[in-house]
Amino acid sequence: MTAPLGALAAGLEERLRARSATVGVLGLGYVGLPLAVAFGQAGFRVMGVDVDPSRAALLASGQSPVEDVPAAALRPLLTSGRLTVSGTADELGQADAIVICVPTPLGKSKEPDISFIVSAAEAVTRVLRAGQLVVLESTTYPGTTEEVLLPRFARSGLRPGEEFFLAFSPERIDPGNRIWALNRIPKVVGGVTPACRRLVETLYGQIIDQVVPVSSTQVAEMVKLFENTFRSVNIALVNELAIMCRRLGMSVWEVIGAAATKPFGFMPFSPGPGIGGHCLPSDPHYLSWRTRLAGYEAKFIAFADEINGGMPQYVVQLVADALNDRTRPVRGSRILALGVAYKAGVGDVRDSPALLIIEALQARGALVDYADPHVAQVEVAGETMKSVAWEAVDLGAYDLVLLLTAHAEFDPRRLAAQARLVVDTRNATGPLGTLPNVIRI
């Protein structure tokens, strides 16, 4: 039997269900901004906060730096006052629920850097009042919510689960995915008490089709790390398979395609030039760091990191071998890299393997240009490179064209027909069959 809520919790639950509550979102990046817009469109008053003054000013003017949130969705909320944007958290004391969506990068030694979480927690501590729900969405190691946030909030003298409410819900946004929109992705939630869990279920139940409660914040934190560790390990496996297949003289893509016909017990993953983005390069290390403190070394994570981390250099060697087979050295060769974003359909270059590959080819003396319709310019080895226009570029002017990101704009037929030599790391040209000028990873 569910225990009855106290007066503060019951009042907050009622306001959440009526959508008369005010929701604060701290951090308006690729996670926080879609959430803020979703809450605003559901009828909540939303207070958006981003401590980056340029981002806050851009958003306040009605422009969106997040590709998944068009300005057309943002502006009506700003005009109506349903959404406000600020550069400070000073007014979050007025919010009934506060959702923290700040970055969690890795340090230089691949240890967790939760400094943004700590700063956000301190900001919330200064404005925390009775009757508020605080939810952490930032990916982090199991225990962060109760070990880092809870003690800070408890300094206020308020009692968790009775006078304030604390929960964790891992973000699951997939940038660029037009099929799995935010409301369609099931939302895992865990609270520090049953009342906290019930309130966070109610909060997300207003904008998400399915909310999945778990027994604790630690379980919810582990869910996110397991999801991305699962992906990292399986990507590493298929990357190693690609290397093995090349050594054995067969196509890894044919092997994967045939294996994928099995209707049970198999899930296809695709090899590529390496992993990048906001999650895969860092999340498994959060888990391995935490388990190391508990006296256990996460072996699969280390092996996967070694294989995935070696793929950029493997691609560089593929390029060198392809040119060598045509009596061309890397030094002095003109190479066009297609795509620098870490995945198709987005302009995010965080930890993109394409940047490592371009830098390594330049270090070998190659003359490298890039084309990416989603990334106008990018920093490589301290130098700014600007994208050439895919629509106008003369592919035949390059000794080799290297496909690194399979953006929809890159027509594989044009690529295969006009380029002298292609190294395709994404199998974009696969449907065209075997081609004499195309080498696939």
Domains of the chain in sequence order = 7-215 (3.40.50.720), 230-440 (3.40.50.720)
> Which stretches of the chain score pLDDT less than 70?
1-2
Q: Would strands 164-168 and 132-136 be described as parallel, antiparallel, or unpaired?
A: parallel
Tokens of 415: 């690529």
| Rounded Cα gap, residues 15 and 366, in angstroms | 61
pLDDT attached to residue 220 = 98
pLDDT at 3: 73
What pLDDT shows up at residue 1? Answer: 52
As a whole number of angstroms, the distance between CA 382 and CA 30 comes to 25
- Residues with a known catalytic role: 279
pLDDT of residue 4: 80
User: CA 146 to CA 139: how far, in whole Å?
Assistant: 14
Q: What are phi and psi of 422, to 5 degrees?
A: -125, 135
What token pair was written down for 430? 């696969």
The answer to whether 146 and 167 are in contact (CB under 8 A) is: no
**pLDDT 10s digits, 297-336:** 999 999 999 999 999 999 999 999 999 999 999 999 999 9
pLDDT of residue 412: 98
Q: Beta strand pairing status for 97-100 and 22-26?
A: parallel
Note the pLDDT tens digit of each residue in 203-227: 999 999 999 999 999 999 999 999 9
pLDDT score at 108: 80
Angle between helices 217-248 and 283-293 (to 10 degrees): 120
Q: Helix and strand tally (H, E) in the chain?
A: 14, 15
